[in-house]
Amino acid sequence: MIAIIDYDAGNLTSVQRAVSFLGKACVVTRDPGTLLEADRIIFPGVGAAGSAMESLVRYGIDRILRDAYGMGKPILGICLGSQIILDASEENDTACLGIIPGTVKAFPSDMSGPDGRKLKVPHMGWNRLLCLGGHPILEGLDPMDEFYFVHGYYPQPQQEEDHVFCRTDYGIDFPSVIGCRNLVATQFHPEKSGRPGLRILSNFFHWKP
Amino acid sequence: MLSKRIIPCLDVREGKTTKGIKFKGNVDIGDPVEMARMYYEAGADEIVFYDITASSDKRDIMIDVVRKVAETIFIPFSVGGGIRTVEDMRRVLLAGAEKVSVNSAAVLRPDIIAQGAEAFGSQCIVLGMDVKKVEPSDAIPSGYEIVIHGGRKPMGLDALAWAKQAEALGAGEICLNSIDADGTKEGYELNLTALISQAVSIPVIASGGAGKPEHVRDVLTIGHADAALIASMVHYGTYTIGEIKQYLTENGVAVRRTW
């Protein structure tokens, strides 16, 4: 059973539908028992870091996530779920879960593209991954594959070489797939990224960290 | 680098797709769920549904369509048409749409943009703008006026000022439709698109007038649009999405590779 964490941070139906489409049983829940019994956990999220952290603490999911991580359960963070696993976020100056050392940063406001024009923030649309090291959830992807992003902040782990698996170029090369041990997280939305996105989800289901 | 998006638009009336020519004489051409699946497979970057169902008691049909589409395709899609309240937005988003677009309702009551952004996040809220070229005047200094009700009602509102106001209210994206170009297949309104796209810092989707791949290239380069809406040129099989994207790639426009 795959548990998708429900903490009032955005629309979870798209993640649920993609998991079901791939033939996996899943449950959308905030029940601590169900989360700790699940084989795998997906930690999605859209919205602001501040209100997301408030909900996580209110429901006690912050502790459950740290426990599940400690137990070695495979966890996939998506979008906001790739950010609040770090120590802190510049968005609303929020203290976060601190599972991976690092901070969540805002895109610089003065970035320009190859044509010299000012880049729009949030970074919204399809972009590629520049893969640094291998990670089992990236298996079978083509370097030309693109993924759907919507975000104004990005995760910056302290230890690049250990915790950053891919970067993506949008004005700066920001970390787009990060992870540590049994936790891996994508800044983009695999559930909205067509076939290569579904491949990442399917790889996650088979991942044995 | 971020790719420019190619977005097929499906007009849906009572659960069936149509394509209007200048908003008149719509003819049925198919099942929206099946067309969405086809465009998803063909490499569409996103899909827009526009509900043109006239009677409000038949609007629930659209929610069913949205639910079925969400089970079938795994790219973002947005739904517009007949969205008047935050509750309307909630139903569409809960049914599985990524984004919802407001048009007339936002002109009549701009607050709905702020309320929607507050409830669901700016990334969900698309402002649809129908724009008509007019003589510049004190009220319409840009020479582009906002019209509503499918292009029938001029509002005395300047398109440029409205775009900026909507951005300030929290719109996450603008879908900019030229009433003059819509259905002509003679190309997008490039001046209008460049004017709006350069004035706001949220993405602009250009709409109306696409007839061939050159038009799409022009609006993404000269018009500085972030995305291009296409309809007849793919609905009637004149071009495939793959052909359009291949043309764009060969002409130096970065798009997601799907062939």
Mean pLDDT of A185-190: 97
A104 to chain B, minimum CA–CA distance in Å?
Answer: 19
What is the ipTM score, two decimals? Answer: 0.93
Q: Label residue A206 by pLDDT band (50, 70, 90).
A: very high
The pLDDT assigned to A95 comes to: 96
Q: List CB contacts (< 8 A) between B96 and chain A.
A: 11, 13-14, 17
Q: Tell me: the pLDDT tens digits for A78-104?
A: 999 999 999 999 998 999 999 999 999
Q: Which residues of A touch B (CB under 8 A)?
A: 10-11, 13-14, 17-18, 20-21, 46-48, 113-114, 117-128, 144, 146, 148, 150, 169-170, 191-195, 197-198
Q: List CB contacts (< 8 A) between A113 and chain B.
A: 1-2
3-state secondary structure chain B: CCCEEEEEEEEEECCEEEEEECCEEEEEEECHHHHHHHHHHHCCCCEEEEECCCCHHHCHHHHHHHHHHHHHCCCCEEEECCCCCHHHHHHHHHCCCCEEEECHHHHHCCHHHHHHHHHHCHHHEEEEEEEEECCCCCCCCCCEEEEECCCCEEEEEEHHHHHHHHHHHCCCEEEEEECCCCCCCCCCCHHHHHHHHHHCCCCEEEECCCCCHHHHHHHHHCCCCCEEEECHHHHCCCCCHHHHHHHHHHCCCCECCCC
pTM of the model: 0.94
B109 to chain A, minimum CA–CA distance in Å?
Answer: 24
User: Which of A96, A123, A151, A191 is flagged as catalytic?
Assistant: A191
Q: List CB contacts (< 8 A) between A148 and chain B.
A: 75-76
B185 to chain A, minimum CA–CA distance in Å?
Answer: 26
Contact A46 B256 (CB under 8 A): no
Q: Tell me: the pLDDT tens digits for B68-87?
A: 999 999 999 999 998 999 99
Q: List CB contacts (< 8 A) between A146 and chain B.
A: 3, 256-257
